[in-house]
Amino acid sequence: MAQDALSKLLSQRDWLMADGATGTNLFNMGLEAGEPPEFWNTDRPDNIRALYKSAVDAGSDIFLTNSFGGNAARLKLHNAQGRVRELNKVAASLGREIADESGRIVVVAGSVGPTGEIFEPMGNLTHKTAVEIFHEQAEGLKEGGADILWVETMSAFEEYAAAAEAAQLAGMPWCGTMSFDTAGRTMMGITSAALAGMVENLANPPIAFGANCGVGASDLMRTVLGFETAGTARPIIAKGNAGIPKYHNGHIHYDGTPDLMAEYAVLARDAGVRIIGGCCGTMPNHLRAMRQALETRPKGPRPTVDDIKAALGGFSSASDGTGDTSGDPKRERRGRRGQ
Amino acid sequence: MADDEIILSELSDDELVLQMHDDLYDGLREEIEEAVNILIERGWAPYDALTKALVAGMTIVGADFRDGILFVPEVLLAANAMKGGMAILKPLLIATGAPRMGKMVIGTVKGDIHDIGKNLVGMMMEGAGFEVKDLGINNSVEKYLAALESEQPDILGMSALLTTTMPYMKVVIDTLKEKGMRDDYIVLVGGAPLNEEFSRAIGADAYCRDAAVAVETAKQFVARKHNRPNA
């Protein structure tokens, strides 16, 4: 099989820049809150082209398609579960168009977000159903010409693994990131070190893995250090939010400036991250500042947790949950029944 | 080991209650159901079984969730065990006219289609003994008002995951104020991009960082409401 575009770029370059926010940008173009962004693939394709192009023009080597919520479980909330194939195919084909026009290798990464369902036994989602849901979406993205699948914002490892299996069924190379937003872990309790270990046990491991979204750039960088401490050799992805949303006079904006995001990008590169991008709140001006900093600032030593704190601000929790057992249930047991 | 085998029916009341706290923590639904039946057979008031065994046990779970010791999967299993016990107690609580923990109407605001956080709050509130009416996602102010009318809850919970939708919470609260209904309800808000400052700015009673905090906050406010004369 020919090498995929992402693996090719990774073999040629030390770092690659991914894109920024999808939602924030689309809302700025007039997406109505409550409207599924994926509908714009067919309703307002020029806006989606503009979104993709803005990332490419700002220097992104990789951009994500507008298909984050394009799985049957999410689209069902809009009674559009029958449009999975179509909406994903168009999301990818618009991307293919923009990437091919760019005159350089730009990776079209088919975005695959969570189903929003909870796995059994706590919830109703079975492994089989999850694989089917992701597989359907993957086939649409593949048909539209996506280079790879980009699984993101996951919190349950079961769901991440189901997406891996779906990628295999579709014959698509893939990357996958989780969102570490709860005391350094994902909502479902996964630590950075745990993810680094678990990806190696997948039958179909990702090209690269990492973290996206969560609680601002500082926390995200701490998660990155956690991946590395776990001793991974796999390329790491960092896609942090442009700061934290703040409320001012009825309007909300992310407090991360382009300068701060440039600082974050350089720190990520110095920490050994191979794929660096933004997430919520990251606009083209942030991306341009990041690209410029990555190209012009000399490589520095690997940052420590203190360096990160000094450059990007404090963390949302004292610990990231790795390296100790304080995260394990520690109640004094009264004795156990049966087994 | 055989030494570890515990026969629930052979435990004293105090030991049984402590064992129930453990079993809730471990999410053992069948054990909780068995233990609730034993307490009732021993003549416990349903309300005591609810508060001293189940709610107290879930308080421990909630505290460890808040402190980052337990995570969502464990909490959901605990809430599921709690629900098993609640199913037994509910008809008995009604029959004995026991005081209610309180009722909550909860929903994600208009324009927002995210629901995991809101679902977790609902599950944990039920786990703490509250009655919960879940309005789902994308709720307009009209839908909230209709539910407040039909459900007569103590608490209105609103959730938003998007910075673009969180201001809608203010629309709902302002409408309640206009109609002179604001003080009839405890208004709790939550969601990833929110914070305390935002909650104050829009006139909510409290911001709840996570589901455990939501439960604790709800309990405090309901207790205050019940202590208020003429309330």
Give alpha helix (H) positions in chain A.
5-12, 23-28, 40-43, 45-57, 72-75, 84-101, 127-144, 157-170, 192-200, 216-229, 258-270, 284-296, 305-312
Higher pLDDT, A74 or A142: A142
Token pair belonging to A153: 């914002």
Higher pLDDT, B77 or A266: A266
- Nearest CA to A322 out of A242, A234, A218, A231 is that of A231
Region A5-338: CATH code: 3.20.20.330
Q: Does B140 touch chain A (CB under 8 A)?
A: no
Q: Cβ of A327 and B69 within 8 Å?
A: yes
Candidate from B73, B111, B198 with C-beta closest to A33:
B111
pLDDT digits (tens, 9 = 90+) for A47-65: 999 999 999 999 999 999 9
With 70 as the cut, is the pLDDT of residue A324 above it?
no
pLDDT for residue B227: 65
pLDDT for residue A36: 87
| Lowest pLDDT segment from A233-242, A299-308, A321-330 | A321-330
Q: How far is B6 from chain A (nearest CA, A)?
A: 5
Over residues A266-286, the mean pLDDT reads 95
Q: What is the mean pLDDT of chain A?
A: 91
pLDDT digits (tens, 9 = 90+) for A76-89: 888 999 999 999 99
Q: Cβ of A254 and B110 within 8 Å?
A: no
Token pair belonging to B56: 């107290």
Over residues A65-73, the mean pLDDT reads 96
pLDDT for residue B97: 84
Residue of B nearest to A213 (CA): B192
Which residues are registered as beta bridge partners of A237? A210, A275
- Contact between B79 and B32 under an 8 Å Cβ cutoff? The reply is no
Q: Cβ of A118 and B116 within 8 Å?
A: yes
With 50 as the cut, is the pLDDT of residue A327 above it?
no
pLDDT digits (tens, 9 = 90+) for B71-88: 888 988 898 899 899 999
Q: Cβ of A337 and B4 within 8 Å?
A: yes
The interface pTM score, or ipTM, of the predicted complex is 0.71
pLDDT digits (tens, 9 = 90+) for A287-302: 999 999 999 999 999 9
The string of DSSP codes covering A159-179 is HHHHHHHHHHHHT--EEEEE-
| Lowest pLDDT segment from A127-131, A204-208, A246-250, A276-280 | A246-250
- A280 contacts on B by Cβ (under 8 Å): 163
Instruction: State the amino acid at position B46 in one-letter form.
Output: P
pLDDT for residue A338: 42
Which of B5, B72, B207 has the highest number of chain A CBs within 10 A, making it the mutation to test binding with A? B72
pLDDT for residue B129: 84
Candidate from A24, A252, A336 with C-beta closest to B4:
A336
Candidate from A33, A116, A185 with C-beta closest to B164:
A33
Q: Does A248 touch chain B (CB under 8 A)?
A: no
Q: Cβ of A78 and B64 within 8 Å?
A: no
Residue spans of chain B under pLDDT 70: 1-4, 227-231
With 80 as the cut, is the pLDDT of residue A330 above it?
no
Q: Which of residues 200-229 of B touch A (CB under 8 A)?
A: 201, 210
Measured from the Cβ of residue A166, the count of other Cβ atoms closer than 10 Å reads 26
